[in-house]
Amino acid sequence: MKEDDLYEQARKKVKAKKGFVSHLIAYLLTLALLYVIMSSANNGDLLPVMIVALSWGIGVAAHYFSTFGTENLEIFGVNADWEEDELEKELDRLIRKRELKDQIRKERDLLNDHERLDLREPVKRPMERDGLV
């Protein structure tokens, strides 16, 4: 990549972060103002504040994930590489399942081969017939 392209990418990323911070500040200030108004003028009924907080909060969360992704969620116990970890677990599970199916197929084939064999009583040697061994 050219240096100009890197600079443009960095500028866009900084602009996106600045946009998110502005969105978050507007969200928090609006909720604070709405809380003050509703608690004094509406006899403390905060249901409208909660509705606004939840609905707008979904938008703020979506804005956060579009700007930062999941890379900063490790402080909340969320692994940033959870998708790769889950993919690896699923691959391991599918490989084990395939190996077990192969093993079952092989054992079934051995059982079928065994059933097809004409097993005869082994011929006893003369000393075994006479009970000398």
Domain ranges of the chain: 1-69, 81-117
Which CA distances in Å does 17 have to 14, 27, 32, 57? 5, 15, 23, 17
Decide if pLDDT at 133 tops 60: no
Residue 55: pLDDT band with limits 50, 70, 90: very high
Note the pLDDT tens digit of each residue in 70-122: 777 766 666 667 677 778 888 888 899 999 999 999 999 888 887 777 555 56
CB neighbourhood size of 31 (10 A): 16
pTM metric for this prediction? 0.54
